[in-house]
Structures are given as C-alpha cells and as structure tokens.
C-alpha cells in the first residue's frame, strides 16, 4: 500500500489500483482530498501494470460533497476540476465505488468516473440547492445526460437523495455490489470491464437524452409553475433550472460555462452564505456545552399526555408516529372523544392523501389509550402536560402527577409563557420538570423549544433532546423567560406592527412588506388565521383596543369571514374599508397624527427590535448561541431560510447599522428601542452576532 498523502492510499489488487480516501467525518472534498484524488489517479495511470482504477472511501460514506467550510476562503491545492479532469481523461477505466452518500461534489466526481458501482444502501444526490447553491462541478451538465432533464430537474431543485436501486434503474449506477462487500464488488466489476474491453464511457459525451428535450420549453415552465410558492424568494432553484436548460440547449462546454457563472454568483451571494450558516446551525443546536455526551439517558418507552385539546392531540401524534405508546388523559368524556376523534381524522386524511396505507391508521391508533384517570399515567417515562394556560391549573396538575407518576420519569409542560420554575415548585422532584414547548400544529411544526428550568437535571435535558430527535423535531435548548426565545422575540414584532398601523400604515402595508421580506405571512394575516378572539373576553371587552373592536363586530378572523381583512368564500383576503375607517377613527380618538410610513421603516421597526431582543436573550444566557435563535425563528415562525434567521440577518445588515437605527428610533419613539448591552458591545468590539 502506498500513501499518496495523509488522507489517500493506493493499493493494487492484481491489475486493479484501488485509490482510497479517508477524511472523516464525510470525506468532503477538502484540499487534501482533491490532491489525493489527483495524485492517486495519476500514479495509477502511470503504473503500466494497472489496467483499471477503483475510487473508494473509508468511513461511513463516499464523498458527501465539497467542503462547505472552504467556501469564501482563498482556494488551495488542486481544484476540483483538476481532480475530475484527471479521472475523466484517464486512459484506463475509473470506477467509483459508492457507499453511504455520494452527494454534491461527491456525485460530480463519481460522474466523471467511467463507471459507478454502489451497495444497495447507498444514496446519490445533488443537494446544493439546500445550501443556496447549484452543483458547480459539472453536475448540472452531466446528470441530465444520464437521467434525462426531467429527473435531473427534480433532483437539483429538491436536493433529494436517491437510493441505489433507483439509481441503477436510472442508469446513474451501473451495478450493485453486495452490501458490506463494496470493495470486492467494485474490483470484480473493474476486472470484468477490462476483460470485456468495455469503452471509457464519458458522461459528457452522451447527448441523446438532452437532445430529445430540445425545443420543449414546457419542461422548464412546468417545474417553475408547480413550485412557484416553494421557490418564492430563493435564487438557487431558478439558477439550477437555468443550468439544466443550458444542458439541454447548449454543447457541453458552453453549458459548463453557464454553470460556472451562475455558481460563482450564488457562492459569493448572501443567500448561500445564509443557507450554509443554517446547515451548520442545525447541527450546532444539538450541542450542549454543559451537558456531557455521556449524560445518562432515561429510557422512554411510554408517554403520557394531559389534555387532548389542540396541542395535546398534536403532541400525541408525534410519539404514535414513531411507535411509542401514548396514554392521553382528559377531564371529561366528551373532550376526550373529541380529542381522539381529531387524531383519527388527521391520520385518515394523511392515508387518503397516500402518505401511508390505511392499516397504518389503525396501527397508530392502536398505540393510543384515552383515559379520564390520571392514575393511568403511573408507569409513563415521560408525561407532557398540555392543559389550559393557567398557573393554578398547571400547578394542580403537577401536584397530582408528583404523587402518581413513577420516580425517574420526566414531567414536562407545554406552557407557552408561564414560569416553569414556578410550576416546578408544585412537585417534590423539580429536577424532573422541563418545558417541551411544541408549536402549533404540533404534529407538523419542526421546532421544539426545550426549556430548562433552574433545577432541571442534565439527564432530563439530554433525554428531552434525544426524544426530540427521535420524533423528527429540531430542538433548541432555551432558558425560562417570558415567551422563552421564540415568542419573546415575536412580541417585539407584534408590538411594532400594532404601533405602525396607528401611526400611519395599514395592516396590508405591514403584511406586504414582511411577506416580501420572505415571511410566510404578515402579522395581521396571521392574526386573522389564528383567530382574533384567542384570549379575548366578550364580557370584559370594552372597545379599548382595535382587537376588542374587531371582535365586538364579530370580525374575529378568517373563521368569521372577516378580521383585519375581508375574506371571500375561498378565503382570499382583501383590504377592508371598514377596518381602514376603524383605524383612522381610533387614531383620531387617541390624538395620533398619522403620517406616511415608508416600507423601509416598516421593515426596520419590525425586524431590528427582534434582533435586539435576540441580543438581550444572549446576554441573559437564555439561548446558548446566536445561531440557536436563528433555528427557532426559521423552524417555528417561517423566517426565510435564505436570510439565515434574524441574528444572521443582523450580521448581513451589519450590527452597527442595526444599532444606529435602534438609537435613532429610541430618540424619537422611546425605550421600546433601547439597544441591548450586547448589541453595543458587538459594535464596539467590531464583532458579529454569530460570534456569540
């Protein structure tokens, strides 16, 4: 065996040279890996005894892509193109041997090999779009030449990982090797192609599939139209489509030029920087500095839920979906029946939509037990309380749980705003108490805020994070404070939105600006969707706020056909003249001199206080790191991924600019805009939010 460099070896098995890469964790195409490929293949080419070459990886995966940490830094060592040219122009067949995932640049390397062999569990994909990129090493030009433009479009715009069997059917893989015997299989395959004198198949020379699609612009129009909503605001999907169009309409070398140009634009742009930030943030968020990896985990085999309302039912589904038995407790039979009925209906709807077979509905419902007796929760390992948002009710429930549930179990609350330290005073084992703040609808939304109280044990925290992962959530560990991280930041935006419509804007102005910024909807459309009467009390309402007045007029949101907007029978929103007049009257009553408010002001007043609040949360230690706040806002509130979350957006704008605006607003509008001490510090020290 010859060492080519620290991460590459060359070994000969008869006439076959095996070039092996070993660069944990994922064999990403860092400078040493590119160098290893280039020199390893070259050495094999130069060796007259070698008849064919196998390129294979050690560890859990084939090359999983370019090294994302290298983007934005000065290039080092041989380029990926050099490595690919060495492979593609080799005078001897090169076979890629794929296990794990061949992704992005990894698949692009495999596409320059003359043949590809994979184990059945392997997957291939071009997921660059999820990083705000496109495959920039010939992937957009080579892939459609094998699988055809339609399939290629699907792969590059979704980033999906395609299983090896499917790859074999599509021609992306030439042969499957036996699971666990990739090297043997690939070497045998290499010997076979040498014996059969098979040609050096270059994907770049295949033209039949792309030529067949020439003059059919509808292929591209269709994918744009079908995904208009999903792609809104993102640059990368459109650029990926343009590259496949180029593959269809231009010769290979011209197509590569288009790919290069568009790749360069994306890789140097703010969207991809944001999406790469999110990629790492999603991985960082699981890392808890003061909870060691060997913290004992509490086995969770049975879950109890209290309250079968909106949240309790949705929460239960998460556990049923992964095969964990759930007992759900209500106070009255009709509430229980209603709750169980909603869960069943949700499952039946999913089955009707083809998400899973009908039998699955019964299987999941079979794991669910309804009860009116809290004693049935005695043997649960995890109990989640989702009763009314009222401290006395919650304390009463926890007091009872303390007497009923076995020692060692986790006692969680889904409260959205109550003080969990106070809830924990109701039990004799406060170390067992934690907040598991699900977002509505709890079976759909990916975010889970795991709220650690003063006395929560590390074991309870570690188990909660692990269980979150098991049910497919992305969990952020946060501390106890009003609204925790997500809603605390939301409160800033909501306050400003309300002030803005008094001072001169209309609800639809505010909504339009925030929608155009990339949020799924603006605050007023959101209120209409949720219902304006949440927390509103008909008896006590005296027209003091705009919301009171709307509710009193029975304009309680979409469900009553009117709220801030008027709705037609298809729930399409239209600005409401009634509301416009109400706002003008209300402002006049309060003696507010309305003025014209610019779109810039709307955006800055809604978003900068959010960033400022994020800084306060960080200085108080209520979030571990600034990127965790981004994760909360992207996954819980639909903050546009291509802006990287509120804190990353703050860095994009510049902390100094955010601070200057906050000061300017503070001078004219008061202490709602008081800059956080950390914001001042970040600017004084020339740092970024992402440094914290």
Return the number of the residue (124 or 634) whose C-beta is nearest ligand NAI.
634
Q: In 3D, which of 103, 104, 85 has the Cα closest to residue 94?
A: 85
Q: Is 105 in the site for ligand 3HC (CB under 6 A)?
A: yes
Q: In 3D, which of 141, 111, 112, 137 has the Cα closest to residue 250?
A: 141
Q: Could you tell me the CA-to-CA distances from 471 to 341, 370, 461, 478 in Å, in that order? A: 22, 21, 16, 19
Name which of residues 279 to 338 contact ligand 3HC (CB under 6 A).
280, 283
Residue 136 touches which member of ligand NAI, ligand 3HC, none, C-beta under 5-8 Å by kind: ligand 3HC
Q: Is the dihedral of CA 87, 89, 94, 96 positive or negative?
A: positive
Return the number of the residue (349 or 390) whose C-beta is nearest ligand NAI.
390
What is the number of H-type helices and E-type strands within the chain? 29, 20
Two tokens, residue 239: 């650029």
Q: Is 628 in the site for ligand 3HC (CB under 6 A)?
A: no
Q: Is 233 in the site for ligand NAI (CB under 6 A)?
A: no
Residue 397 touches which member of ligand NAI, ligand 3HC, none, C-beta under 5-8 Å by kind: ligand NAI
Residue 2 touches which member of ligand 3HC, ligand NAI, none, C-beta under 5-8 Å by kind: none
Pair 579, 567: CB distance under 8 Å: no
d(CA 272, CA 130): 9
Q: Is 108 a catalytic residue?
A: yes
Part in contact with ligand 3HC (CB under 6 A); list of ranges 129-137, 247-255, 528-536, 552-560: 129-137
The 439-458 contact track toward ligand NAI, x by CB under 6 A, reads -x------------------
Q: Is 362 a catalytic residue?
A: no
Minimum separation from the CB atom of position 452 to ligand NAI (A):
17
Q: In 3D, which of 84, 95, 161 has the Cα closest to residue 130?
A: 161
Query: Which residues share a beta bridge with 613?
Result: none
Among 415, 457, 558, 635, binds ligand NAI (CB under 6 A): 415
Return the number of the residue (260 or 560) whose C-beta is nearest ligand 3HC.
260
Residue 686 touches which member of ligand NAI, ligand 3HC, none, C-beta under 5-8 Å by kind: none
Query: Which residues share a beta bridge with 329?
Result: 306, 371
Q: Is 101 in the site for ligand 3HC (CB under 6 A)?
A: yes
Among 329, 380, 384, 617, binds ligand NAI (CB under 6 A): 329
Walk across the sheet containing 101-103 and list its strands. Answer: 101-103, 123-125, 162-163
Report the Cα 571 to chain-centroid distance in Å.
Answer: 28
Return the number of the residue (288 or 529) whose C-beta is nearest ligand NAI.
529
Which positions ≥6 away from 396 have C-beta within 8 Å?
426
Q: How many CB atoms lie within 10 A of CB 279?
A: 16
Question: For 388, what's the count of Cα atoms within 13 Å in the CB-facing half-sphere?
Answer: 9
Minimum separation from the CB atom of position 525 to ligand NAI (A):
16
d(CA 538, CA 301): 44
Q: Is 245 in the site for ligand 3HC (CB under 6 A)?
A: no
Q: Is 485 in the site for ligand NAI (CB under 6 A)?
A: no
Report the run of H or E that residue 470 belongs to, with start and end.
helix 458-470
Residue 283 touches which member of ligand NAI, ligand 3HC, none, C-beta under 5-8 Å by kind: ligand 3HC
Residue 445 touches which member of ligand 3HC, ligand NAI, none, C-beta under 5-8 Å by kind: none
Q: Is 67 in the site for ligand 3HC (CB under 6 A)?
A: yes
d(CA 66, CA 72): 12
Question: For 548, what's the count of Cα atoms within 13 Å in the CB-facing half-sphere?
Answer: 10
Residue 267 touches which member of ligand 3HC, ligand NAI, none, C-beta under 5-8 Å by kind: none
Return the number of the residue (137 or 629) whose C-beta is nearest ligand 3HC.
137
Q: Which of 128, 385, 449, 613 is catalytic?
A: 128
Name which of residues 576 to 605 contact ligand NAI (CB under 6 A).
none
d(CA 114, CA 40): 16
Residue 387 touches which member of ligand NAI, ligand 3HC, none, C-beta under 5-8 Å by kind: ligand NAI
Do the strands 410-413 and 382-385 form a parallel or antiparallel pair, or are they unpaired? parallel
d(CA 478, CA 579): 38
Residue 76 touches which member of ligand 3HC, ligand NAI, none, C-beta under 5-8 Å by kind: none
Minimum separation from the CB atom of position 215 to ligand 3HC (A):
28
Among 330, 601, 613, 630, binds ligand NAI (CB under 6 A): 330
Report the run of H or E that residue 52 belongs to, with start and end.
strand 52-57
Could you report how far apart the first and last alpha carbons of the chain are, in Å? 46
Residue 63 touches which member of ligand NAI, ligand 3HC, none, C-beta under 5-8 Å by kind: none
Name which of residues 150 to 179 contact ligand NAI (CB under 6 A).
none
d(CA 454, CA 415): 16
Two tokens, residue 190: 């290499």
Q: Could you tell me the CA-to-CA distances from 366 to 190, 326, 332, 456 in Å, in that order? A: 51, 10, 21, 33
Alpha-carbon dihedral of residues 677, 680, 682, 686, nearest 10 degrees? -160
Q: Is 109 in the site for ligand 3HC (CB under 6 A)?
A: no
Q: Is 475 in the site for ligand 3HC (CB under 6 A)?
A: no
Q: Is 65 in the site for ligand 3HC (CB under 6 A)?
A: yes
Pair 414, 386: CB distance under 8 Å: yes
Q: Is 386 in the site for ligand NAI (CB under 6 A)?
A: yes
Q: Which of 35, 88, 108, 245 is catalytic?
A: 108
Residue 65 touches which member of ligand 3HC, ligand NAI, none, C-beta under 5-8 Å by kind: ligand 3HC
Among 393, 578, 588, 669, binds ligand NAI (CB under 6 A): 393
Pair 55, 15: CB distance under 8 Å: no
Q: ∠ CA(613), CA(411), CA(620), 5° rounding?
A: 20
Name which of residues 267 to 326 contact ligand NAI (CB under 6 A).
306-312
Return the number of the residue (26 or 386) whose C-beta is nearest ligand NAI.
386
Name which of residues 335 to 374 contact ligand NAI (CB under 6 A).
335
Report the run of H or E that residue 62 belongs to, with start and end.
none
Strand stretches in 119-237, DSSP E = 123-125, 162-163, 175-176
**Residue number with the shortest CB distance to ligand NAI?**
309
The 130-169 contact track toward ligand 3HC, x by CB under 6 A, reads -x-x-xxx-x------------------------------
What are the φ/ψ torsions at residue 56 (nearest 5 degrees)? -140, 160
Binding site for ligand 3HC (CB under 6 A): 25-26, 28, 61, 64-69, 101, 103-105, 108, 127-128, 131, 133, 135-137, 139, 280, 283
Instruction: Kindly list the catalytic residues.
Output: 108, 128
Residues lying near ligand NAI in the complex (CB under 6 A) are found at 306-312, 329-331, 335, 386-389, 393, 397, 414-416, 438, 440
């Amino acid at each position: 065996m010859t060492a080519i460099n620290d991460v590459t070896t060359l070994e000969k098995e008869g006439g076959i040279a095996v070039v092996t890469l070993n660069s944990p964790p994922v064999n990403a195409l860092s400078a040493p890996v590119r160098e290893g490929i280039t020199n390893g293949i070259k050495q094999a080419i130069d060796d007259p005894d070698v008849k064919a070459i196998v390129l294979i990886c050690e560890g859990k995966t084939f090359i999983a892509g370019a090294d994302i940490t290298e983007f934005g830094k000065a290039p080092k060592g041989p380029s990926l193109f050099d490595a690919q040219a060495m492979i593609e122009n080799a005078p001897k067949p090169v076979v890629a041997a794929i296990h794990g995932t061949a992704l992005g640049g990894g698949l692009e390397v495999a596409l320059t090999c003359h043949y590809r062999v994979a184990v059945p569990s392997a997957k291939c994909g071009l997921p660059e779009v999820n990083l705000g990129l496109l495959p920039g090493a010939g992937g957009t030009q080579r892939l459609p030449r094998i699988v055809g433009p339609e399939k290629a479009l699907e792969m590059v715009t979704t980033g999906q990982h395609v299983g090896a069997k499917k790859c074999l059917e599509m021609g992306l893989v030439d042969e499957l090797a036996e699971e666990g015997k990739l090297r043997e299989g690939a070497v045998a395959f290499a010997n076979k192609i040498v014996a059969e004198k098979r040609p050096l198949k270059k994907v770049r020379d295949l033209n039949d599939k792309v030529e067949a699609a020439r003059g059919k612009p509808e292929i591209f129009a269709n994918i744009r139209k079908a995904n208009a909503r999903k792609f809104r605001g993102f640059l990368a999907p459109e650029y990926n489509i343009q590259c496949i169009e180029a593959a269809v309409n231009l010769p290979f070398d011209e197509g590569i030029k288009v790919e290069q140009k568009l790749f360069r634009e994306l890789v140097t742009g703010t969207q991809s920087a944001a999406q790469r930030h999110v990629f790492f943030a999603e991985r960082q968020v699981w890392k808890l500095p003061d909870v060691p990896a060997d913290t004992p985990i509490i086995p969770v085999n049975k879950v109890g839920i209290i309250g079968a309302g909106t949240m309790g039912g949705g929460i239960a589904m998460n556990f049923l979906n992964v095969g964990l038995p759930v007992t759900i407790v209500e106070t009255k039979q009709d509430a229980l029946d209603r709750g169980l009925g909603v869960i069943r209906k949700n499952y039946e709807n999913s089955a009707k939509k083809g998400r899973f077979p009908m039998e699955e509905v019964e299987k999941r419902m079979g794991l669910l037990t309804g009860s009116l007796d809290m004693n049935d929760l005695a043997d649960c390992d995890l109990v989640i309380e989702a009763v009314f948002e009222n401290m006395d009710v919650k304390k009463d429930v926890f007091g009872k749980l303390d007497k009923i549930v076995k020692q060692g179990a986790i006692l969680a609350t889904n409260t959205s705003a109550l003080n969990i330290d106070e809830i924990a005073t109701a039990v004799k084992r406060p170390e067992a108490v934690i907040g598991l703040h699900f977002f509505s609808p709890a079976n759909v939304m990916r975010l889970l805020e795991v709220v650690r109280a003063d006395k929560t044990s590390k074991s309870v925290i570690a188990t909660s994070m692990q269980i979150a992962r098991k049910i497919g959530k992305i969990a952020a560990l946060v501390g106890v404070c009003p609204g925790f991280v997500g809603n605390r930041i939301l409160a800033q935006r909501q306050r400003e939105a309300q002030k803005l419509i008094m001072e001169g804007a209309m609800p639809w102005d505010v909504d339009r600006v925030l929608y155009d910024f990339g949020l799924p909807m603006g605050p007023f459309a959101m209120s209409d969707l949720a219902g304006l009467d949440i927390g509103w009390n008909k008896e006590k309402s005296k027209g003091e706020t705009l919301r009171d007045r709307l509710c009193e007029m029975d304009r309680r949101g979409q469900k009553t056909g009117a709220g801030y907007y008027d709705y037609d029978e298809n729930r399409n929103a239209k600005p409401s003249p009634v509301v416009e007049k109400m706002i003008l009257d209300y402002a006049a009553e309060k003696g507010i001199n309305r003025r014209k408010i610019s779109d810039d002001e709307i955006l800055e007043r809604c978003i900068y206080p959010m960033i400022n609040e994020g800084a306060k949360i960080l200085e108080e230690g209520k979030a571990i790191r600034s990127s965790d706040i981004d994760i909360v806002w992207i996954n819980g509130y639909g903050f546009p991924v291509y802006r990287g979350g509120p804190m990353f957006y703050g860095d994009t704008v510049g902390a100094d600019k955010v601070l200057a605006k906050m000061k300017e607003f503070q001078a004219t509008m008061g202490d709602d805009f008081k800059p956080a001490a950390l914001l001042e510090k970040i600017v004084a020290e020339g740092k970024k939010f992402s440094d914290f």
